Amino acid sequence: MNKTLMKIVLLLGYSVPFVFLAMYGDVAHGTMLLYGFMIIGYTTLCFFAIKSKQIGTMVIGNTLSWISSYICMQLAYTERWSWYFKPFRAETLMLILTVMACSIQILFALIKYKKTKDKKKEIE
């Protein structure tokens, strides 16, 4: 696939407000199921970003995901959210979850890079 097209597809995928949707499902419906979908979404996007060597796009995409989640949270903010995620505020938890997701994805990318580098050394 064309690199530019792959970047666009990844950025579109990352523009989904995964963290907001998971937190909204938790608050509105009392279900943790959407956190699982968030993990699946981030894992899928991470896999394709690593496979296509678009690590910079992955970091930019996570930032885009945080921005879209933050905007959605500001638009759909309810009074219940202010006490539901104690000891954190909803915005703080959203930032923590996004940073954790991005960190894990970068860790996987570094592990993959190290394995690839080690294989090249073995061949030589």
Q: What is the pTM of this model?
A: 0.87
Peptide bond preceding 87 in cis form (omega within 30 of 0): yes
CA 103 – CA 54 distance, rounded (Å): 15
Span 69-116, pLDDT tens digits: 999 988 887 667 878 888 888 888 999 999 999 999 999 999 999 888
| b/e 106-124 (16+ beta carbons within 10 angstroms → b) | eebbeebeeeeeeeeeeee
For 55-82, how does the pLDDT look when each residue is reduced to its tens digit (9 = 90+)?
999 999 999 999 999 999 888 876 678 7
